[in-house]
Structure 1
Amino acid sequence: MRRLGMTDIAERGSTGQANEGIKELKQERAIRTRTRILNAAAEAFASKGFPAVTILDVAELTGMTKGAVYFHYTNKEALAVAVIEEFDSRFPVVAKTVSALGLAPVAAVAELLTRTAIAFRDDTMMRAGARLQIERGLIRAALPLPYAKYTEIIYGWLKTAAEEDGLKPGTSPEALARVLVSAFFGAQHISWVLNDRADITERTLEVIRAVIPCGEGALLACPSIPDRGNAA
């Protein structure tokens, strides 16, 4: 058996590196393709709803074949699950941007609600996720529990506010978080049905003022609140 020389080892090393490079390129290409498909699915679900959407609709939006879509997602249900999971993952991201502002807890809640409202208005993935949550009974697949993460985030800030005497005495942070989430998601749904979410920030401001005790003054610290100068 011939011993490997330095040249052989170098050539094998170069080949291995080349193969790894090709593998990474393929993985990156696959990720980009899946993202294109997911964004197209979100557009279709947001505009037509789960029952009316077909894999062909998604394929046409991406400029791909149905077979290419099926290669990455086995059926329409898998696409819906992926869109809802992406929708669900956006809430902690929005909360992180709010946390970075260093606002007082009640102001942070108001800012989170407002930024979420803007995302519902402007982000197709958010609009698709909201619609699919309503249609979840039609989707034959296991789906993430809706609104749980969002409620937990708001509860965390309200709990801190209560500990710092930032809420009215006797206010339950847990109950208030549940009421806020119910009121906010109800408001965004009504805004969608009546006005295609054009007035969602105004409706969110109404929720904040009506539901959060001591929340009026906190609005002045929220950069995303419309007409902050007139909030108080």
Structure 2
Amino acid sequence: MQQRAQDTRLAVIEGAARVFAEIGYGNASLADITKRAGVTKGALYFHFTSKRELALAVIDEQHALVQSAGSEIAGSDNTALEKIISLCRMFGQQLLDEPIVQGGIRLTFEASAFQADVSAPYQDWINTTHQLLAQAQTEGDVRADLDAAAFARYLIASFTGVQMVSEVLTARADVMARIEQMWEFMLPTLTSGARTQPQVP
């Protein structure tokens, strides 16, 4: 795909993400999206045949953005537990700063409206967290008797709930503070009986 076409496609995805984030899938129209993206309907239909296809593209792009930023954290020299906490902070910041992430996350909660399986991003995050928790157990920062797989799922569910309630109550104005609070509650459960007693970094 030529660079100009790639730029147009990304503009459409970002415009769609902004519209989906603001008014949801059901209320969004392709006319709203073309206006927000600053493209013609012809340009939109060159890349996407339907609103559903566009919604799926937003979710895919959101997942790619999160994975890209997450890979940098995972490749750092920090401990595994520090990486898990940093991943949560990173995702929280993206929810504040990245329209594609904002739109993609809202779409995952509205997926029944366009009959899509949106489990992959969540499963990837659960798997990554599981691996890091197991590593943190080896490093002595997380207690050895913790069920890492179960806690990974619980952590992602907790984070999802924290950001959803933050969105409802404060339009995510307090999401970073609530993420820190979540970790203040969770760390004692993770580290009780561990060889080391890490604090929230």
Identity among equivalent pairs (%): 27
Give, in whole Å, the separation in 2 of the partners of 1:146 and 1:95. Answer: 12
- TM-score when scaled to structure 2? 0.90
Q: Which among 191, 194, 200 is matched to residue 214 of structure 1?
A: 191
Residue 26 of structure 2 is matched in structure 1 by 51
Q: Deviations over 1:190-230 (max 9, x none)?
A: 1011111111111111111212323973423xxxxxxxxxx
Cα contact 1:188–1:200 (8 A) shared by 2: yes
Cα contact 1:98–1:111 (8 A) shared by 2: yes
Greater mean alpha carbon deviation, residues 49-58 or residues 203-212: 203-212
The residue identity in structure 2 corresponding to 1:73 is: F
Q: Unpaired segments of 5 or more residues in structure 1?
A: 1-25, 221-232
Q: Deviations over 1:81-106 (max 9, x none)?
A: 00011112223212212124311111
Q: Unpaired segments of 5 or more residues in structure 2?
A: none
Give, in whole Å, the separation in 2 of the partners of 1:98 and 1:49. Answer: 31
- TM-score when scaled to structure 1? 0.79
After superposition, residues 27-38 of structure 1 pair within 5 angstroms as: 27-38=2-13
Residue 147 of structure 2 corresponds to residue 172 of structure 1: yes
Which is higher, the Rg of structure 1 or of structure 2? 1
The Cα RMSD (Å) is 1.7
Q: Which among 148, 153, 157 is matched to residue 128 of structure 2?
A: 153
After superposition, residues 1-232 of structure 1 pair within 5 angstroms as: 27-143=2-118, 145-212=120-187, 213-214=190-191, 217-220=198-201
Aligned residue pairs total 195
Give, in whole Å, the separation in 1 of the partners of 2:39 and 2:168. Answer: 32
Give, in whole Å, the separation in 2 of the partners of 1:154 and 1:143. Answer: 18
